[in-house]
Structure 1
Amino acid sequence: MHARDDTATAPDWRQLPPAVQVDAAVEGFRMLADPTRLRMLWLLCGAEYDVTSLAAAVGIARPAVSQHLGKLRLAGLVATRRDGRRAVYRARGTHVRNLLDEAIGAAVHHLGGIPDDELV
C-alpha cells in the first residue's frame, strides 16, 4: 500500500493530532531508526519468530535480539505469544506492515529504484 490522495479517509492535515499520539508516533519512528530493529521488524511482518531463529536470520547474538524485541514491544510494534516454553514474536497489525512498506518504498523512490535484494 502506498500513499495516495483519498480525501474520503484522509486525516485533516490542517489540525494537529493530540500530543499523546505524536509522542507515540515519535517513539515508533525512534525504534525504526535502528537498522537491526528495522530488519527484525521486516522479518516479523512476514512470519513469527522466536529469539533463536530471529537471531540466526539477522546474524546477531540472542541477547541483542532480546533487547531489541523488548524495545519494539514497548513501542507497540510487536506482539508475543507463548508456544510451550518459548516466546514467539510477530509484527503487531497491518499498520506496522504498512508503515514499513511505505518507509522502504520511499527509500526505493529516493534511491532511484535500486533492487529489493539490496535494500534490507
Structure 2
Amino acid sequence: MYPVPAPPDPDALPPDLLQDAATTFGLLSATVRLHLLWLLAQGDRDVGTLADETGQSVATVSHHLGKLKLAGLVRARRHGKHQIHSIDDPQVAGIVQLAIRHHQELRTGSSRARRTRGA
C-alpha cells in the first residue's frame, strides 16, 4: 500500500493545483488508460503485450500511451525493435492500484454480504 500524505491546508489550495489534479483524474477516467497503468504498475511492457492484455488494438493502445506519456505518467525506452513502456509517476500508479483494489474489496464484501443474507 502507498501511504496517503496529509492533505494540504485547504486555505492554501491554489486553483491551478486543483486544475492539475482534475486533469490527472480526467486522464484516469478512461477505462483503457486505467487498465494500462494498472498493468504497467506490475512491470514494463511493450505495446503489443499491452494490446493483448487489454484486448485493444495496437493503434488504440499506442494512442492512449501517447496521452499518458504527454502527461508524464508513462515513459518509453527503445529495446531493439520495440519500445518498452513503464510507469513514470509511481504516486499516480499507487492511486490506480489503491482504487482498483478498493473496488475489488467492495465486490468481495458485497458478494459475502449477499450470500450471508440469502442463507
Task: Judge same fold: TM > 0.5, yes or no.
Answer: yes
Q: How is 1:1-120 mapped onto 2 (pairs within 5 angstroms)?
A: 1=1, 10-108=6-104, 110-111=106-107, 113=109
Letter of the 1:63 partner, please give it. A
Change (3 A) 1:59 1:38: same
TM-score between the two structures when normalised by the length of structure 2: 0.76
Q: Distance in 1 between matches of 2:19 and 2:25?
A: 10
Letter of the 1:82 partner, please give it. R
Residue 105 of structure 1 deviates from its aligned partner by 3.7
Uncovered stretches (5+) of structure 2, i.e. residues with no partner: 112-119
Change (3 A) 1:95 1:84: same
Identity of aligned residues (%): 33
Please say if residues 108 and 114 of structure 1, whose CA atoms lie closer than 8 Å, have aligned partners that are also in contact: no
> Could you say what secondary structure the match of 2:69 adopts?
helix
Report the count of equivalent residues. Answer: 111
Residue 111 of structure 1 deviates from its aligned partner by 4.3
Residue 16 of structure 1 deviates from its aligned partner by 4.0
Q: Deviations over 1:40-86 (max 9, x none)?
A: 11001111111111101111110000001011111221111111232
Higher helix share: 2
Please say if residues 72 and 89 of structure 2, whose CA atoms lie closer than 8 Å, have aligned partners that are also in contact: no
Of residues 74-83 and 105-114 in structure 1, the stretch that sits farther from structure 2 once superposed is 105-114
Uncovered stretches (5+) of structure 1, i.e. residues with no partner: 116-120
